[in-house]
Amino acid sequence: MQKIINLLLKFIPRPLLIKFSTLLNKPMSFLYKGDAVECTVCEKYFKKFMPYGYGSETKSNRLCPSCLSLERHRLLWLYFKQKTNLFTEELSLLHMAPEQPFIKRFRSLNNLKYVTADLLSPIADVKTDIRNMSFKDNSFDVFICNHVMEHIDEEQKALKEIYRILKPNGWAILQVPIDYSLDVTYEDESITDPKEREKHFGQYDHVRQYGKDYPEHIRKAGFKVIEDNFIKSFSDNEIERYRFDKNEIIYLCVKE
């Protein structure tokens, strides 16, 4: 299974993967039936999660067979529920590069005015570039955009656009893959070959490898950044059962 997923991710364009991936939900859920791990998003149980990743970064026990959540989605879902007003107040939410585990669940919340956007995704409501979004200033209370900034060559332009369209006191979740062994984010604009990018940045379509200075990148665009070690509120048994990433820090980005 790990080799099959690796090949699918490598050779099938992401828009097609997004469009057809849900066709496998029922057979995969049956194949992985059990109760050793639990998905916090769809609240289903499995003997283990499916493998997921690119090349040498492919790891086992990561992807929920039912809702397709990964570690970050399962942690964020509980964070949204326990530490934000996303489920309780009337809010406008823009979800850039919408993630399949969240879409139906956000749409079902009557308190949200929910909009999805992306430049290429076939499941997005609005086609727009994160570096030049087609929304007015101060349009949204909340902005969610996960594992996107590492793909964007004009990072500050994108971050300032997010700041622009958020209302005052609005907040954003902008998670990225971080190598916590790096004090400073590694970038090299001369590296454009996909194979070289995979070798240097971890994936063929990444343009940088973020380090521990990631919050400073966000602050540079004007945000107040709250670094939340939410993961520490869970026991080791819970972390293993939900298959969280022990190193994940949640960055709450606030427009003051």
Q: What domains does the chain contain, in order, with CATH numbers? A: 2-69 (no CATH), 72-254 (3.40.50.150)
Query: Looking at residue 5, what is its pLDDT?
Result: 47
Query: Looking at residue 33, what is its pLDDT?
Result: 87
Instruction: Indicate the burial class of 72 (C-beta count within 10 angstroms; 0-12, 13-18, 19 or more).
Output: buried
The contacts of residue 144 (CB under 8 Å, 6+ apart) are 93, 94, 95, 96, 102, 172, 173
pLDDT by 10s per residue, the chain, length 256 = 545 544 444 545 555 555 555 656 667 765 778 899 999 999 999 999 998 877 655 688 999 999 999 999 999 999 999 999 999 999 999 999 999 999 999 999 999 999 999 998 888 999 999 999 999 999 999 999 999 999 999 999 999 999 999 999 999 999 999 999 999 999 999 999 999 998 999 888 999 999 999 999 999 999 999 999 999 999 999 999 999 999 999 999 999 9
Give, in order, the Cα–Cα distances in Å from 165 to each of 79, 94, 140, 223. 23, 10, 6, 13
Query: Looking at residue 57, what is its pLDDT?
Result: 59
Query: Looking at residue 121, what is its pLDDT?
Result: 87
Query: Looking at residue 220, what is its pLDDT?
Result: 97
